[in-house]
Amino acid sequence: MNSNRTMTLFLTGIAVCAGLVFAGGAQKQLPTTVDPKPRDGNWMQRHNSFNERVKKGNVDLLLIGDSITQGWEGAGKDAWEKYYGKRNAVNLGIGGDRTQHVLWRLDNGNVEGIAPKLAVLMIGTNNSNGTDNTAEEIGEGIQAIVKKLRAKLPQTKVLILAVFPRGEKPNPQREKNAKASEVASKLADNQMVFFQDIGDKFLTGDGVLTKEIMPDYLHLSPQGYEI
């Protein structure tokens, strides 16, 4: 075989290998759950209101999440005043949020300039609709939020709450959320990061979720917030 032929084959082999490496890298994409994204409309107004609140300081407790957290201002208002009114608590919940939206908020002012004693996080149920995300992807999203909180608020302890049960009876979405919570719980070291699952407090002995606790089998009633 002449030298030119040998060189051509050699270069072709390098090109093929490079192509395979590039293709393999291109196939590995981060799940949407860990990719920070904002939302439109009134969402931005509420996000900005959080930033204005934390600028005032005097924040000892953060509750971070979606509509279930935001609901402390609605059905949970009385329970909030009873238990958290004197704790310098700030509600960082926005209805409809997914893990990627919380990540964006944390990067854009929601925790800037504060050093709370504790941040309580429950997020992920909105990621679990249909085939939007797998349990593993949701768990990774929750983990990403915890890691970001630890980086931005190194003196703040973090409590991960398992995603609450939803649906009247046991169902695949409940199972997905439970698995996602299990993935997230692996970050708990019981020193700075803690995990707690209180979902069974809302259920009957045979796993039924009643309308007295969650009228739409997702959002809490005043009784649910008291629990």
Closest CA to 114 of 63, 45, 161, 54: 54
Catalytic residue among 60, 67, 107, 197: 67
Report the amino acid identity of residue 90: V
As a whole number of angstroms, the longest Cα–Cα distance in the chain is: 87
Active site residue 219: yes
Catalytic residue among 47, 101, 181, 219: 219
What are the Cα distances from residue 35, in Å, to 105, 127, 138?
A: 12, 13, 12
Instruction: Report phi then psi at 117, rounded to 5.
Output: -75, -35
Catalytic residue among 40, 189, 206, 216: 216
Active site residue 67: yes
CB contact at 8 A, 140 and 31: yes
Active site residue ranges: 67, 216, 219
